[in-house]
Each structure stands twice: as structure tokens, then as C-alpha cells.
Amino acid sequence: MIRLQSSDGKIFETDLQIARIFNTIKAVVEAATDDQIVDVSMHESAKNKNVAKNKKVPADKLKQNNISGGDIEIVDGIIVIHLVKSSILRIALDWATHHKNDVNDEFNDEMLLRNFPRWDVDFMKFNALTTLELVGAASYLGVKGLLYLAGFTLCDLVGDKSEGEIDDLFSRQVHNF
């Protein structure tokens, strides 16, 4: 198990296989030195090593793994994700849990044609604001399948609306938040 903390402090425990779907988390685990490993079960060379306490994984280590975004802290063995709030992280984890056995998260022709599996289409029944936040989180977490799903869903939600209608849509949802 691995523990992830959202920007608003909520901690989620999830299986490493699920967390590694997020390329940002995968890069943190792979970039960490043996004394920074979050969970000793995550890394073969970390067996019998101490769990990290209050370490930061430097941005340059993330960039070496083609991951954008700032530093992600490892605090008391928990990976702190500063840019994703708990409600959105929960949605991303639910999506990742369903897709944990998928072989490939790369962009493919089926996504281009918007031929998403029925489960994904049904899953994306969120308002425009939540969908927009999910696009940002999927981008930050490096989860292409979720990014394309949320991105295309957002396009469908706002695609035929005028600029004023889009402003009204998001303003109404922010006020009801």
C-alpha cells in the first residue's frame, strides 16, 4: 500500500499498482533514492531500508523522467500532491482502480474517435467545473487515458456554447460550490 495526500490534507491509501498509473507518482517512486522510498514494498533495492521522513523529490529528478510540475514532497512516508484537492484525487483514484489492469494508457485511435468504453462514458457524469479540475489533475498526474477522457468530455460540455454561456456555466457552478 502507498499513501497519497491531497492538497487539502486528506490521505488516501491505495495499492502501488494503482498509484503507478499516475506517471508523476511512478516517477517519484523511481526517482527516490533508497532512503527516500515511501513504502519498502515499492522498490526491490529498498528492502530493509527506513521509510523516508520529510524529503522532497527534486523537480530535476522528475524532469529526468519527463514529468512536469513542481516538487512533490514525501512527508513521513506519504506522497503529498500539492496541486490536487481530495474530491478530484478521489475521482482519479476511482478511475485508476477501474483501469489498473489496462495494458496501455497511451493515446490511441479509439480515443481520437472518442470510442471510450461504456464504463468511462458513464463515469464522466460530472459538472463542467469538476470535469475541468479533473483535466488539470490528470495532466499534472500524468494519466493520459483520463486526461483524454476528461478533455473530450469537457469539449462536449462546452463545445456548442457561446463565450457568455460558458462563463455563466462555470460561474453558476463556482457559486454553488
Question: Is the same domain home to 70 and 91?
Answer: no
Question: Is the same domain home to 112 and 163?
Answer: yes
Report the pLDDT averaged over residues 24-32.
80
Report the pLDDT averaged over residues 161-177.
70
pTM, two decimal places? 0.74
DSSP SS3 for 5:
strand
Report the pLDDT averaged over residues 15-19.
89
Question: Is the same domain home to 91 and 162?
Answer: yes
The pLDDT mean for the chain works out to 75
Question: Is the same domain home to 115 and 171?
Answer: yes
CA distance 118 to 123: 8
pLDDT of residue 84: 94
pLDDT of residue 117: 83
User: Is residue 15 within 8 Å of 2, Cβ to Cβ?
Assistant: yes
User: Is residue 8 within 8 Å of 85, Cβ to Cβ?
Assistant: yes
Domain that holds residue 62: 2-80
pLDDT of residue 30: 78
* 159, burial (CB in 10 Å: exposed 0-12, middle 13-18, buried 19+): exposed
Cell of 52: 523516508
Domain count, the chain: 2
Question: What is the full DSSP assignment across 79-132?
Answer: EE-TT--HHHHHHHHHHHHHTTT-S--S--HHHHTT---HHHHHHT---HHHHH
CA distance 176 to 43: 44
Q: pLDDT digits over 66-83, tens only?
A: 333 455 777 777 888 989
